[in-house]
Structure 1
Amino acid sequence: MKYAVFTASTPDWTPEEAVAQLAAQGWNGIEWRITDQEQAQPPGFWTGNRATIPLTGLEDELPRVAGITREAGLALSGLGAYVPAADHANVERVLAAAATLGAGRVRVTMPQLGNGDYRELMDATRRDMAWIADRAAYHGVTALVELHHRTIVASASAAMRLLDGLAPEHVGVIHDIGNLTIEGFEDPLAAFEMLGPYLAHVHVKNVAWLVTGTRADGGPRWSAEWAPLREGQADIEAYFAALRRFGYGGWVTVEDFSTVVPLAERTRDNLAYLRELDQRVRIREA
């Protein structure tokens, strides 16, 4: 497998600093966050993130992004855009950007729960994804749907309801063990087998459920909090074993939103940890 970092999780670094740091640590690739954002100080994951490429003026940024990525010796695991599937004009732009950069794949976002009847949202988004599949084929890339809590595709089963029958060469799924620990968890191997050719990409992060208050009935109020890869509730080693058993050999992109450890130390240790797990799985299965 090949390892990359999604720049949503590297808010302190400029794009130039991000590629330099990740290349020096030995990562194989980078996944650029693409969105317009509010500015903030200090930089945060979602606002003021210095390693984000703006959607406004994206086309003008592409030569710079391509140049610094190539010069650092990193590959592109994909593009992490935040364009809703229903926003066809901007979906077209990020598909074209993925083709221009040679990234191969780009994420489009799904409707969140609470924005209407689930069945109607699913039907409308399936129509959007059919249109996107055609446009992705035109550009020679793949549009990705991420399994994400509080959206209409929190699970592999829901993603198959959305994508089944569309060309898996041009629409696929990002399986994310961290998101699934919050909502939508299904046995990983069974989920991979269910997705089959639609399993196009993997994101890795970890989460812990913590008691953060008291409910009105007096019981504990639980909240999911991002945790270091080594410490969260998701069993990343078992996850790697399931990926290997299924035969997945593609990108594993880390988006660690924990803040216990400083950024450079965090990314460095995450790579060491994933390589360690992969080696253990290989030895055990030899």
Structure 2
Amino acid sequence: MKFSVFTASTPEWTPEEAATTLAAQGWDGIEWRITDQKDAAEPGFWAGNKSTWPLTGLEKNLGRIADITSTAGLKYSGLGGYARCDNHVDVERILAATARLGAGQVRVVALPLGTAAMGGEPTGRDYRDLFAETREHFSWVAERAAFHGVKALLELHHQTVTSSPSSALRLVEGLNPDHVGVIHDLGNLIVEGGEENLAGLQLLGAHLAHVHVKNAVWSRQPVNGSDAAWKHEWSTLRGGIADVPSYFKSLAAVGYDGWVTVEDFSTELPLVERTADNLAYLRSLASRT
């Protein structure tokens, strides 16, 4: 296995700091976050993230991305794109950028559920219509990915039409796995879409293209003063609900030997300690399988 870090989880570091620090710790690769984000007074995972490359003007930054990555001696595990599958202009750009960098693969985002408020008001649309539309868009994505000689990645993600391995397989079935694959995301499956890990990995078969690892817990939190609701919170890899050691055994059982990308959104440890500990932990797990 090869291990990398998604830079959504390294908000305090500039690209140069992220690459040099991760390389010094012994990581094999890096997965650059690419999106236009909001400014923030303090660096955060989703706004003001210093190691995020803006989608606006991306093409002008490709040389710098390549230089920083290669100088540190890191490989690309892929690109962490946020272009939605129905935004064909941006999808085309991110696929072309992936090809120019030699990054191999890039995430393309599925449509959100009709009940989801992901960057706007919920649409209220029927799941069946959203799923069919997403499938149509990914058929186009597969053609464009083939044209560019890269692979588009569909992530298992809560509040989208593909939160589970079963739903993702339905969406990509019949599409060329050389150009459309699935990201199995252990932490996201804690939030929504959870299926037994080995079964889910087996189900995806040739479409299992990439792995994201993070962890989460559920906690009861006050709502509106007196009511309470269960909500998820991101945790350390060691401290969440997901059984990470068992997960690595499942990956070994299906013969997965590709990239494992960490996106740890916990804050209990300082960032440099967090990334170093995660690598030591994951390597220890991989050595046992």
Q: TM-score, normalised to structure 2's length?
A: 0.95
In structure 2, what residue type is equivalent to 1:90? D
- The letter of the residue matching 2:101 is L
User: Alpha-carbon deviation of 1:113?
Assistant: 1.1
Residue identity opposite 1:42 in structure 2: E
Partner Cα distance (1:45, 1:216) in 2: 27
SS at match of 1:230: coil
Cα distance in 1 for residues equivalent to 2:13 and 2:274: 13
The answer to whether structure 1 residue 171 and structure 2 residue 187 are counterparts is no
Q: Structure 2: how far apart are the matches of 1:217 and 1:183?
A: 26
Letter in 1 for 2:112: Q
Percentage of matched positions with identical amino acids: 59
Match of 1:134 in 2: 143
Which aligned pairs between 1:118-267 and structure 2 lie closer than 5 A? Answer: 118-213=127-222, 221-267=229-275
Deviation sequence 1:258-277 (CA, Å, 0-9, x none) = 01111000000000000111
Counterpart residue type for residue 236 of structure 1: V
Q: Which amino acid aligns with 2:88?
A: H
For structure 1, the 5+ residue unaligned runs are 282-286
Alignment of 1:87-102 (within 5 A): 87-102=87-102
Q: Does 1:269 align with 2:277?
A: yes
Q: Work out whether residues 85 and 129 of structure 1, in 8 Å CA contact, stay in contact via their aligned partners in 2.
A: yes
Counterparts of 2:286 and 2:176, CA distance in 1: 31
One-letter identity of the residue aligned with 1:99? A
Aligned residue number for residue 126 of structure 2: 117
Q: Name stretches of at least 5 consecutive residues in structure 2 with no aligned partner.
A: 115-122
After the TM superposition, which parts of structure 1 deviate over 6 Å for at least 4 consecutive aligned residues? Answer: 214-218
How far off is 1:215 after superposition?
A: 9.2
Residue 287 (structure 2) pairs with residue 279 (structure 1): yes
Q: Is the CA contact 1:206–1:234 (under 8 Å) kept in the aligned structure 2?
A: yes
Equivalenced residues, count? 280
| Root mean square deviation of aligned Cα | 1.3
Letter in structure 2 aligned against 1:200: A
| Residue type of the alignment partner of 1:222 | W
The answer on whether the counterparts of 1:215 and 1:221 sit within 8 Å (CA) in structure 2 is: no
Matches within 5 A, 1:38-53: 38-53=38-53
With the length of structure 1 as denominator, give the TM-score of the two structures: 0.96
Deviations 1:186-216 (A, max 9, x none): 1111111111010000000000111213799
Amino acid at match of 1:7: T
Of 204-213 and 20-29, deviating more is 204-213
Which deviations, in whole Å up to 9, do the C-alpha atoms of 1:32-64 show, x marking residues without a partner? 000001111210000000000000000000000
Equivalent residue of 1:157, what SS?
helix
Match of 2:76 in 1: 76
Quote the offset at 1:161 in angstroms. 1.3
Which letter maps to 1:68? I
Amino acid corresponding to residue 232 of structure 2 in structure 1 = A
